[in-house]
Amino acid sequence: MVSYGGSRKRQLESGESEPKPKRKRATGGETLVYLQEKSEKEFELRKAELEIKKKEVENNREVEMTLQKQQQQQFMDFQKTIMEHAKYDELNDKAINMEAGMKKLKDENSILKRDLANTKGENDLLKIAQDELEQYGRRECVEIRGIPLVPDENTNEIVIKLASKLGIDITKTDISISHRLGTPAAGSTRSGRSFINPKTKSTQGLQSKIVENNIEITDTKTIAETFNKYFSSIGSRIVDSISSNDISPLEYMDFSIPTSFFLSPVTANEIQLEIAKLNISKTSGPFSIPTKLLKNLYCNISEPLEILYN
């Protein structure tokens, strides 16, 4: 404790410290200055806090805007994905429709090909039928060449004279019509054509005879038996005329023989052409199938036969 009654010297000798000076009471002006400084410091602190809060708000706003942009981008991506899926579904539907259309076109093409093959086969049949009709129409037509052209000639008489020299009895009633071919030139021997009616043609002038072993045979039955005997024994007679030897037949071949062979596949069109060539007037095959029936059904049986043959 500081003794207020002691002297300064005694305080120093006793080792006591110098007492603190008493604080002076501030005046009104100093108080105002102090309060003003304090308020300014508080204002600065408040201002700094507000700046910090403002920055925090701005940062939060930037974060919110970033999140909002991300959400918008995600939403746009989601919409794009939906549109792509819708477009994919649309393209898928178009592809399915195109595939169905292609299948339909393929089926129609197959039908058209079959119809074309049938039409081609029918055309070939018509050509063959037309040729047969033309051949049938020309059955009475005989073309004679090398007869000199004579002024005011009678072609019917020329045909009758020529037939008589050949030993054939023909009258005017047997000839339908006869004429020269084309416009004849001077000194020409242009061929002529005559149409002979086979129903009224006389065959009395035909000579039926053969000579066998210097013996003349005129009987038709004997002639038929002679021909039958000749052709039925010609094979054995040819074999007997060949001298026997031990030479291999392969030695007569001057080319190499392949060890395998290849048969090209048969097409339905080729089968139709072969059916078209059949003659309906001939007898049926080993299965007794009428030729007319085969020709009528050639379009339906050509493809199954193609499968069987190949």
Residue 205 has pLDDT above 50, yes or no: no
User: Which strands make up the sheet holding 141-144, listed edge to edge?
Assistant: 141-144, 192-196, 175-180
Of all residues in the chain, what percent are helix, strand and coil, respectively (each to 5)? 60, 5, 35
Q: What is the helix (H) or strand (E) element at residue 180, kind and residue range? A: strand 175-180
Give the range with max mean pLDDT: 11-15, 71-75, 138-142: 71-75
**What average pLDDT does the chain have?**
76
Pairwise CA distance, residues 279 & 90, whole Å: 60
pTM (2 d.p.)? 0.26
Q: Check residues 140 and 238 and name the one with the higher pLDDT.
A: 238
- The count of other CB atoms within 10 Å of the CB of residue 128 is 16
* Contact yes or no for 162/144 (Cβ under 8 A): yes
Reported confidence tier of residue 1, pLDDT bands at 50, 70, 90: very low
Mean pLDDT of 28-40: 78
Instruction: Say which range, 110-114, 250-254, 272-276, 299-303, has the weakest mean pLDDT.
Output: 250-254
Coil, strand or helix: which one is 144? strand
Question: Given CA atoms 105, 110, 113, 118 in this order, what sign does their dihedral have?
Answer: negative
What single-letter amino acid sits at 122? Answer: E
Both structure tokens of 186:
């001077």
- The count of other CB atoms within 10 Å of the CB of residue 296 is 13
